[in-house]
Structure 1
Amino acid sequence: MFVLRSSRDDDVDAQDVLDALADETCQTILSELDEPKTAQELVDACDVSESTLYRKLERLRDASLLRSGLEIRADGHHTLRYEVDFDEVAISVDDERTLGLEISQSSPSPEDSPRKPWLGENARLRGSLSQSSD
């Protein structure tokens, strides 16, 4: 039995987290996200098809391991950029031999959160892919 503890308020299924972390393509995507990237940049970097990439992005989002933000462009062709949404994932066993999984994220308050340079001047990072589309 898994017990999920999170530093966030998200309702996350521990099995979704473990499945995403065990998936080789998801691992590749996470390793490529040293900075926010577009889907096309990830397709090229990970050498996967666009449809595969979007399935894996959804898997990572469902596991609360990924977030996206809208890049505002002067030409009106806005695009999403994706980035890792955690600092650490820890698996533990308590005294009753129950497995625990904890996702940690240092999340500054909105007042302290710097605006992302790849977002528009007044934009802030969105917390969920399901709230936005590419």
Structure 2
Amino acid sequence: MICSHSSLQAQSGTSSLGVGLIIGEPSGVSIKKWFNNRIAVDVGAAWSLAQNEALHLHSNLLLHDALDNTPKLSFYYGIGGRIIFSDTPKVGARIPLGLTYLFENIPFDLFVEAAPILDLTPDISLSGNGGFGFRYYF
């Protein structure tokens, strides 16, 4: 991602802020802000049909490592939190793991992510999120 992110900033011209969609469980809006060549924060607002048909909000601090021989493809990992707004609200910690691909000539990325979650309220339990998506950087 080190090479990819530098290219992304040059392509987008003005910003390292991406907005797009994530499709999976849950599905919704994904926003990502780069702070340097390796560190980013993402935020998601999504709706779950499987888990209490509820609104999920999450945010994560992400670290990216470019994969050898494929500078546009990077592995990322991080830590963050998740809140579910439902009849029984939940708060938990997330550990997202994923791959992201940045296109060379357009300010656009594709990503796939899985995130184990440790819910802390109302009871301690394990769950997870996952999906794929895209973002446009402007």
Q: What is the TM-score of this pair, normalised by structure 1?
A: 0.27
TM-score, length of structure 2 as denominator length: 0.26
Highest CA radius of gyration, 1 or 2? Answer: 1
Considering Cα pairs closer than 8 Å and 6+ residues apart, tell me whether 1 or 2 has the greater RCO.
1
Structure having the larger proportion of residues in helix: 1
